Amino acid sequence: MKLAMAAAMVMLVGFAGPRAVHAQQVGGAPPSARDSALIDLTGYWVSYVTENWRYRMVTPPKGEYRRIPVTPAAVPLINAWDPAADERAGLQCKSYGAGNIMSVPGRLHITWQDADTLRIDTDAGTQTRLLRFSPRAAAPGARAWQGESSANWERAPGPGGGGSLRVATSNLRAGYLRKNGVPYSERATVSEQFDIAPLPGGGQLLLVTTTVEDPVYLRLPYVVSPHFKKEPDGSKWEPTPCSSTW
Amino acid sequence: MLLHLVARRAALGLLLVVIGAGTASAQFDPTGSWAPLATEDVQNDSLPVDYLGLALTDEGRTRALSYDEAQKAMVERQCQGWGASYMVLGPFGLRVSSQTDPVTKRIVSYTIDPWEDWNGMTIWMDGRAHPSESALHTQAGFTTGRWEGGALAARTTHMKAAFIRKTGVPLTDQATLDWRFYRHGDVLTVLLVAQDPVYLEEPEIISKGFRLSPAPLDFRDPCVTGFEGREPGDSVPHFPPDKNPFADEFVKFFGLPREAVMGHRETLYPEYRKKIKDTYVQPPPCVNSCGAAGNFVRR
């Protein structure tokens, strides 16, 4: 009988534990995004290009937009793509914006800029994304290739733990979904889910399910899911500038 | 006495909750009809020789180059299906259902219904072990699953020798497929990591998106064989690997590097872009079916 009571008490305490901790936190400062991270995204990651190879590893032909559900309004822009003009206008980073940057073959370096801001640097195009877990005090700034990104952890339901990072990005400069000038407008929004999977035999895989929605140039959401392998260090990190042709 | 009775029942109840939660609780509901998003090119089957995005061994490349798609005209092979990996490589959606134990009501398995040229999949969720290595291999293989970190993780073994591409890129019967199903809202992302100790130098990784369909997917009728020009018992169509007439078709059409079309490992990493930067010549502008799904409409 005593054993049964003891077991009941142990289990009750076990269930009450996290709530008790939470109750303590209610009175104090909430844990930072870094402290409450559900998955560890930090480190170096390299693109592993097994999908959309012809659209990512080389510049596809001008005028081709297969598998992108563009509106009729986009077609004249696609056919008028002029990389030299982009270069002259200082727009050589149009295919490195948040709508496409994760599909550009290269490496990511993910770090915590501060306790509530996750930072992603890319060596291809030398871009920086800041994923903010707490709202900015200041008003949104000027439109940028990487826009403004808000982030939150999404805890997996059930007892298994784990979860995912959700990122929503807006306030973008108009850019390209592909190097050959398939456009997205500055009204586009980008939603991303970052998930991590173990690789058989060791290693980790980062999967970024990316949904681009654009009321101007997309009839339907454009969804891709580029993936990355984790690397032990930054020895292969090689920043290169944006290029409108390559 | 009453207190002891309450404590005993509470302990028993909590124990059941803990055991149940640890073994069978679904972290999301994967059941229903899932329509393919088709915004990524994962099929790579528009031309007979397209091994882009693969890391093939020399053996795998040689075997793939010997493949003639006329094999599928043989009555014996028409309904063979394409192997388990075709779940994400094919153009179809997923229709997923669950099966529960009638007594405990716990989920025993998930079933993904077959298509005309795919054999379907049962993912056993009840903790059963995979069969012994010498057990029967089938087209569908044997798949077990578990919930892990917010994903439904599954592993397929015991497959017959099959394909990782419809262009004849082979997998041996020693291949393993590791799956992860992630659900975010109405989007289901299925991640496949395929390994083969003989034909793949590195795992083939495919991720494909599906969207929850409010209406049940309309699947085609089961495969029915018919005469397609080859009599039963005819020889198996094939090419000598070094004489495949389509080997350079993709290369010429898009000016692609031959080693990329042939599935060499180095072509999967960013360094390869730097290697070909000065030699790649962008093809002429697209003038025909530039927005259609797939690579070409030439066939």
Q: Report the C-alpha dihedral over residues B71, B77, B80, B84, rounded to 10 degrees.
A: -20
Q: What contacts A221, CB < 8 A, 6 or more positions away?
A: A211, A212, A213
As a whole number, the mean pLDDT across chain A is: 89
Looking at residue A3, what is its pLDDT? 46
Contact (CB, 8 A) for B80 and B225: no
Is A224's Cβ below 8 Å from some Cβ in B? yes
pLDDT tens digits along A219-231: 999 999 999 999 9
Confidence of residue A5 (pLDDT cuts 50, 70, 90): very low
pLDDT at residue B263 tops 60? yes
Q: Does A215 or B149 have the greater pLDDT score? A: A215
Amino acid at A236: K
Residues forming beta bridges with residue B8, ordered by sequence position: none
Looking at residue B81, what is its pLDDT? 85
Looking at residue B4, what is its pLDDT? 56
Note which residues in 163-222 of chain A have CB less than 8 A from chain B: 163-164, 166, 193, 195-197, 199-201, 205, 207, 209, 211, 222
pLDDT tens digits along B178-194: 999 999 999 999 999 99
- Residue B13 CA from chain centroid, whole number: 42
CA A213, A214, A219, A225 dihedral sign is: negative
Contact (CB, 8 A) for B99 and B109: yes
Q: What is the mean pLDDT of residues B229-249?
A: 91
The shortest CB-CB distance from A11 to any of B11, B150, B287 is to: B11
Contacts of A211 in chain B (CB under 8 A): 187
Confidence of residue A161 (pLDDT cuts 50, 70, 90): confident
Contact (CB, 8 A) for A126 and A239: yes
Q: What is the mean pLDDT of residues A141-165?
A: 90
Contact B182 A193 (CB under 8 A): yes
pLDDT at residue A88 tops 60? yes
Q: Which two tokens stand for residue B146?
A: 């578990």
Q: What is the mean pLDDT of residues A54-62?
A: 95
Q: What is the mean pLDDT of residues A227-241?
A: 98
Q: Which of A1-5, A115-119, A213-217 has the lowest mean pLDDT?
A: A1-5
> φ and ψ at A16, to 5 degrees?
-75, -20
Q: What is the mean pLDDT of residues B94-109?
A: 96
Number of H helices, E strands in chain B: 6, 11
The most confident of A71-75, B40-44, B146-150, by mean pLDDT: A71-75
Q: What is the mean pLDDT of residues A89-100?
A: 98
Looking at residue B231, what is its pLDDT? 82
CA of B93, closest CA in chain A: separation in Å?
15
Q: Which two tokens stand for residue B230?
A: 């080859």
Q: How far is CA B113 from CA A90, A121, A154, B153, in A?
A: 52, 42, 30, 18
Q: Which of A49-58, A85-94, B76-85, B177-186 has the lowest mean pLDDT?
A: B76-85
Contact (CB, 8 A) for A178 and A55: yes
Looking at residue A24, what is its pLDDT? 43
> φ and ψ at B265, to 5 degrees?
-55, -45
The shortest CB-CB distance from A222 to any of B7, B39, B182 is to: B39
Contact (CB, 8 A) for B265 and B61: no
Q: How far apart are CA B53 and CA A76, in angstroms?
A: 31
Contact B11 A195 (CB under 8 A): no
Confidence of residue A135 (pLDDT cuts 50, 70, 90): confident
Q: Does A123 or B289 have the greater pLDDT score? A: A123
Q: Which ipTM was obtained for this model?
A: 0.88
Q: What is the mean pLDDT of residues A222-243?
A: 97
pLDDT tens digits along A23-52: 444 567 889 999 999 999 999 999 999 999
Rg of chain B in Å (alpha carbons)? 23
Contact A205 B149 (CB under 8 A): no
End-to-end CA distance of chain B: 82
Confidence of residue A13 (pLDDT cuts 50, 70, 90): very low
Q: What is the mean pLDDT of residues B13-28?
A: 52
Q: Taking the model in full, what pTM does it have?
A: 0.88
Contacts of B184 in chain A (CB under 8 A): 154, 164, 166, 193, 209
pLDDT at residue A90 tops 90? yes
CA angle B260, B209, B223 (to 5 degrees): 85
Looking at residue A32, what is its pLDDT? 96
Is B26's Cβ below 8 Å from some Cβ in A? yes
Looking at residue B44, what is its pLDDT? 75
CA of A137, closest CA in chain B: separation in Å?
29
pLDDT at residue B129 tops 60? yes
Q: For an interface test with B, give the residue of A15, A39, A45, A53 to mutate (most B CBs within 10 A).
A: A53
Looking at residue B297, what is its pLDDT? 33
Q: How far apart are CA A214 and CA A232, in angstroms?
A: 37
pLDDT at residue B295 tops 70? no
Q: What is the mean pLDDT of residues A8-24?
A: 41
pLDDT at residue B144 tops 90? yes
